[in-house]
Structure formats: structure tokens, C-alpha cells
Structure 1
Amino acid sequence: MVYLISGKRDEGKTTKLKQLSEDQKKAFGFIAEKIHDCGRVTTYNLVNINNQETCVLARLASLPLQEGWGEDFTHGPFRFSYSGFKWARNLLSAAIEAGGKVFFIDELGKLELNGKGHSDLIKEALKTGMNLYISIRDVNVEDAVKTFGIGDYTIIEVD
């Protein structure tokens, strides 16, 4: 079953996903944590829900590159690290290897709808039979269901 955690921008989708992950035993996956500086988001870190290990996924393109950043691409105001997406795929591989039943993905957005970002991870996760909890903006739900061929799903709206 796929559970789509749906809401508007900055409405609490990640918080809801985190709460749901805390209620699950033997859950795997990640949330995307925003890092703010002077009132604006400067960085997105992926956080492993099992052990709180983090990996930098994106930084404002106007900020200096971090040492060891590696290859990246720019989308909007952010520079995304390919190594961050690989890190997330490794979490899915570990979940599959461990026989995981539940996986959390934060989030499915425009990047994924255009075949980038976590797109490959989502396609692979859908084939596993695991229960998936995926955060998504409400305006992207219909496109995501079509793009990824999501059949059986439930929408959990953030209030």
C-alpha cells in the first residue's frame, strides 16, 4: 500500500511523515530536514529515520561548495548532490536486504515527476511490496499517480 502524505508547501508534511515513522516498528527511509539561516532555507539534509544519520542533499547554489561535494545539478535556487540521492537509494537497498516492510520517502516533487531526484528510488520502492509513506504536495498527487503508475493508495492530508 502507498500512503501519500499530502499538503501544501510548508504545511507540515515532513513533520507528519516523521510522526508516522515513529509509530512504525522496523521502518526504513528518510526525511528531508530544512536548515535555515537568517530566515531562509539554505540546505536540505536527508535524515535516516532509524539512526538519525544525515547526508547533505541540496544547498543554495549561491553558497560555496562543501569539500567532497561531488557531481551535482541545479534546480531552481538549489544545487543538488548526486551523492545525496545515491545515499537515499542505499537506504532502500538496506531495507530490502533486511526484509523491511515499511519505507518512508520525503518527498516526491517536481524533480521526481521529471525523472530526476528520487525518481529511480520511487520506481524501485514501488516494486518491493513494502508499505510506502511518501510526502507530496497536494497539487502533484494526480501527476504522481499517473507518472509512477501508483495503483492502490491512500491520501493522508496534513491539517
Structure 2
Amino acid sequence: MVYLISGKRDEGKTTRLKQLFEEQKNAYGFIAEKIHDCGRVTTYNLVNLSNLETCVLARLASLPLLEGWGDDFTHGPFRFSYSGFQWAKQVLNSAVNAGGDAFFIDELGKLELNGKGHAELISSALKTGMNLYISIRDVNIDDAVKAFGIGEHTLIEVD
């Protein structure tokens, strides 16, 4: 089953995803944690929900590159590290190898709808048979269902 945790920007989708994770047994996945500086988001870190390990996913393009950053691409004001997306795939692979029952993904957005970001991971996760919990902005739901061929799903609205 696919559960889409939906809401508007900054409405609590990630928080709700974490709460749902805590209610599950044999669950794996990651969230995107915002790092603020002077009142604005400067960095997104991926956090493995099973062991709290982190990996930098994106930083404001205007900030200096981190050592060992590697290849990247720019989307809006952020520079995204390909290694961050590879790290997320490793979290999924660990879940599959461990026989996980549920997997959590934060989030499916415009990047993924354009075939970038976590698009490959989401396509792979849909084939695992695990219950998937995916955060998504409400305006992207219809496009995501079509783009990824998501059949039966449950919508969990954050308000």
C-alpha cells in the first residue's frame, strides 16, 4: 500500500512522516531535515530514520561547496549533490535486504516529477512490496500518481 502524506509547503509533512515511522515496526526510510541560518533554509540533510545517520543533500547555491561534495546540479536556489541521492538508495537497499515492511520517503516533488532527485528510488521502492509512506505537496498528488503509476493509495492530509 502507498500512503501519501500531503499538505502545503511548511505545513508539517515531515513531522507527520516521523510520527508515522515511530508507529511502525520493521520500518526504514529517511526524511529531509531543514537547516536554518538567519531565518532561512540553507541546507537539507537526509536523515536515516533507523539509525539517525545524516547525509547532506542540498545547499544554497550561493554557499561555498563542502569538501568532497562531488557532482551536483542546481534546482531553484539550491545545489543538489548526486551523492545524497545515492545515499538514499542505499537506505532503500538496506531495507530490502533486511526484509523491511515499510519504507518512508521525504519527499516526492517537482524534481522527481521531472525524473530527477529520488525518482529512480521511488520507482524501485514501488516494486518492493513494502508499504510506502511518501510526503508530497498537495498540488503534486495527481501528477505523481500518473508519473509513477501509483495505483491504490491512501491520502493522509496534514492540516
What interval of TM-score do these two structures reach, taking the shorter chain for normalisation? over 0.9
**1:92 aligned partner:** 92
RMSD: 0.4
TM-score (norm 1): 0.99
* Paired residue total: 159
Give yes or no for the alignment of 1:152 onto 2:152: yes
* Equivalent residues in 2 for 1:25-40, closer than 5 Å: 25-40=25-40
Give structure 1 stretches of 5+ with no counterpart.
none
Q: How many Å apart are 1:123 and its aligned residue? A: 0.1
CA distance in 2, matches of 1:45, 1:20: 20
Structure 1 distance, partners of 2:96, 2:77, is 34
1:59 maps onto 2:59 in alignment: yes
Alignment of 1:1-159 (within 5 A): 1-159=1-159
Q: Which runs of 4+ in 1 moved over 3 A?
A: none
* TM-score, normalised with respect to structure 2: 0.99
Partners of 1:26 and 1:126 in 2: CA distance: 17
1:26 shift after superposition = 1.4
Gap runs ≥5 in structure 2: none
User: Could you tell me how far apart the structure 2 residues matched to 1:59 and 1:22 are?
Assistant: 28
Q: What's the offset of the Cα at 1:25?
A: 1.1
Q: Aligned partners of 1:141, 1:112: CA distance in 2, in Å?
A: 12
Please give the per-residue CA displacement for 1:55-96, whole angstroms capped at 9, x wherever unaligned.
Answer: 000000000000000000000000000000000000001100
Alpha-carbon distance in structure 2 between the residues aligned to 1:131 and 1:26: 11
> What SS does the aligned partner of 2:127 have?
helix
